Structure 1
Amino acid sequence: MKKSNINKNALYESHLLEDWFSPKIIASLNNEYIKVVKIKGDKVPWHNHENSDKLFYLLEGKLLMEIESSKAFYMNTGDLFVVQKGINHRVSSVDECKIMLIERKDTLVQFYPRLPKP
């Protein structure tokens, strides 16, 4: 089977998305998926990825990143942030924003309606 190179524009791919909070795989690299997603609002619950890190690259907009036991901060277009495995986090956005995500294909997600009490 012949393999072919992948040439895609992540921002363009994110503009094709119809639904919020529905990541689309646009490519794979070794054992990772490269995804695009658009979000608006605060529907992403607190969660963590117990077996892998996750990279967020903000393609467009402004994203609120909340990390357990840390001060929340905003990411702007062009910003990149890596959430380390096992760290509880959530994201939200007042206005629509578009994100590229890179995570392992076998990423396991654990959701929490609220952060667990220490």
Structure 2
Amino acid sequence: MKEAIDLHAKLSTFEGHWQPRTVCEFNGHDVMVVKVQGEYKWHSHPDTDDFFLVLKGTLNIDLPGDRTVQLTAGQMFVVPRGVEHRPHAREEAHLLLIEPTGTPNSGDTATAAPRRVI
């Protein structure tokens, strides 16, 4: 990496929700930004934890047992591997995600968004 990465500038380069974009790699992990709005499906990641850091807006993550974690800008949450969860945002939110390179965002390679590098 030769210069600082401006996450807000990277987020301004694309439209669409639930389609993460890799901005760099870090020790075998993709560091990604994504815009989210509406409800994503219930899913889990059997082999990896799921890291969420809110950059802008509010994200809710539904968990088993009728539990919901609400995150606002500057807050993060890690869903442990194997735990089913459903992220959703009433209004558009911007997130930073970190996952091992190749991890499908839906937990299933057949339904995952394609890997995009910006």
Please give the range of the TM-score, normalised by the shorter of the 2 chains. Answer: 0.7 to 0.9
Q: For residues 62-102 of structure 1, what are the alpha-carbon distances to aligned partners after superposition, in whole Å with 9 as ceiling and x for unaligned?
A: 11111123511211000011111111011111111000100
Which ranges in structure 2 are unaligned for 5 or more consecutive residues?
A: 110-118
Q: TM-score, normalization: structure 2?
A: 0.82
Q: Which has the higher strand share?
A: 1
1:26 equivalent in structure 2:
23
Aligned-CA RMSD value? 1.8
1:46 aligns with 2:42: yes
Q: TM-score, normalization: structure 1?
A: 0.82
1:63 to 59, 65, 86: 59
Q: Is the 8 A contact 1:45 1:90 kept in 2?
A: yes
Which ranges in structure 1 are unaligned for 5 or more consecutive residues?
A: 112-118
SS at match of 1:101: strand
Runs of 4+, deviation exceeding 4 Å: none
- Structure 1 position 6, deviation (Å): 5.2
Partner Cα distance (2:8, 2:69) in 1: 23
- Structure 1 position 11, deviation (Å): 2.7
1:114 equivalent in structure 2:
none
Partner Cα distance (1:67, 1:30) in 2: 29
How many aligned positions are there?
107
Partner Cα distance (1:20, 1:106) in 2: 19
Q: For residues 18-76 of structure 1, what are the alpha-carbon distances to aligned partners after superposition, in whole Å with 9 as ceiling and x for unaligned?
A: 1111110111101100111001111x100011111121000000111111235112110
SS at match of 1:47: coil
> For the pair shown, which has the larger CA radius of gyration, 1 or 2?
1
SS at match of 1:49: coil
